[in-house]
Structure 1
């Protein structure tokens, strides 16, 4: 499914759904950040996606990270909750979402890098080289909060 992101754009279509989603910020022991190159919008992002019925936020973060990167993670904290009606996400099936994302911090427990239908590349990116990647402003905000650590809160189930 193809996706287009609008940010503070008066030409964005009207929203018809809000779907809670997750992203997971994973840094390795040298401070690099786990990033994926998304196949749906051709942007770089933290791994993540929608929460499936019957799963917890934590379970969704673990599942989405493993599906998109090949790495199994343990969720260690909450970075923040991101809602912004100015960020509109349009899917090729006609769904038009308003942003609602829960960003968590995680650490790798197993696995190896591999791509998926949702990720064309999986990389460990140096934080000081993130500007080299095409990243949506709403994702950059989550990354900034995750990397500087000022927004990390204890994780609530």
Structure 2
């Protein structure tokens, strides 16, 4: 089943659950941003994940970021069961990538120096 994010959509179905999660902008020494291509919607997204019981939002963001950074194998990043691709992108390449509006907002916050941003 594909995932759909609803934001400011008056026709969105009523919410039936709440899943706290965090994502993080991970930048390497060259200024490139780490993104994953999600398996559920084929869109590019920040590393992120669901919070665990007793975990704070910042702790969750750090944990999920470390999971992605701990995946390099032989100099290459490896995809997870939730992604089809994981890559580093130059900031100027990001605008052309398909992504949901909520992820684009987070990246725009980072580009504009508005960090940390919580949404």
**Which of 104, 110, 114 is the aligned partner of 1:150?**
114
* Gap regions ≥5 residues in structure 2: none
Secondary structure of 2:24's counterpart equals strand
In the alignment, structure 1 residue 116 sits paired with structure 2 residue 75: no
Secondary structure of 2:22's counterpart equals strand
In the alignment, structure 1 residue 42 sits paired with structure 2 residue 42: yes
User: TM-score, with normalisation over the residues of structure 1?
Assistant: 0.64
Q: Which residue of 2 aligns with 1:12?
A: 12
Secondary structure of 2:31's counterpart equals coil
- Which aligned segments of 4 or more residues in structure 1 are displaced greater than 4 angstroms? none
In the alignment, structure 1 residue 60 sits paired with structure 2 residue 24: no
Q: Which is richer in strand?
A: 1
* Gap regions ≥5 residues in structure 1: 73-110
Number of aligned residue pairs: give it: 113
Q: Which is richer in helix?
A: 2
| Shift, 1:115, TM fit | 0.3
Distance 1:52 1:3, change over 3 A: same
Distance 1:4 1:52, change over 3 A: same
User: TM-score, with normalisation over the residues of structure 2?
Assistant: 0.81
